[in-house]
């Protein structure tokens, strides 16, 4: 059996992070100012390979309700090799019934 590989140094240990976003299917998702093209209720984003440390991504979800654009913004901190979940709820309690 061959010997195990040497441990990775800090400069070698790079891995992507995964961000799982839940939101209405008709919501528009913008990540760090760049719109995505997905249209499902569960969107999986994979970052480029990241060096060790913490990285912050800004996620903005927009949806049109009753002719008005409603937006929510959340910042998510990610680490290489880890998965983060970001839910957008767009509370419906503010919609008045007549």
Task: Decide which of 59 and 97 is more confident.
Answer: 59
Q: DSSP state, 97?
A: P
pTM of structure: 0.78
CATH topology of domain 18-87: Immunoglobulin-like (2.60.40)
DSSP string for residues in 30-46: EETTEE----SSEEEEE
* pLDDT (0 to 100) of residue 94: 46
Whether the per-residue pLDDT at 9 is higher than 70: the answer is: no
* Tens-place pLDDT, residues 30-88: 999 999 998 999 999 999 999 999 999 999 999 999 999 999 999 999 999 999 999 99
């Amino acid at each position: 059996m061959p010997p195990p590989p040497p441990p990775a140094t800090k400069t070698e240990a790079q891995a992507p992070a995964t961000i799982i976003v839940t939101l209405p299917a008709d919501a528009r998702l913008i990540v760090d100012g760049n719109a995505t093209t997905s249209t499902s209720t569960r969107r999986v984003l994979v970052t480029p390979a990241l060096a060790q440390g913490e990285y912050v991504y800004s996620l903005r979800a927009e949806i049109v309700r009753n002719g008005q654009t409603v937006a929510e913004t959340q910042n998510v901190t990610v680490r290489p090799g880890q998965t983060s979940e970001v839910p957008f709820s767009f509370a419906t309690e503010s919609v008045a019934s007549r």
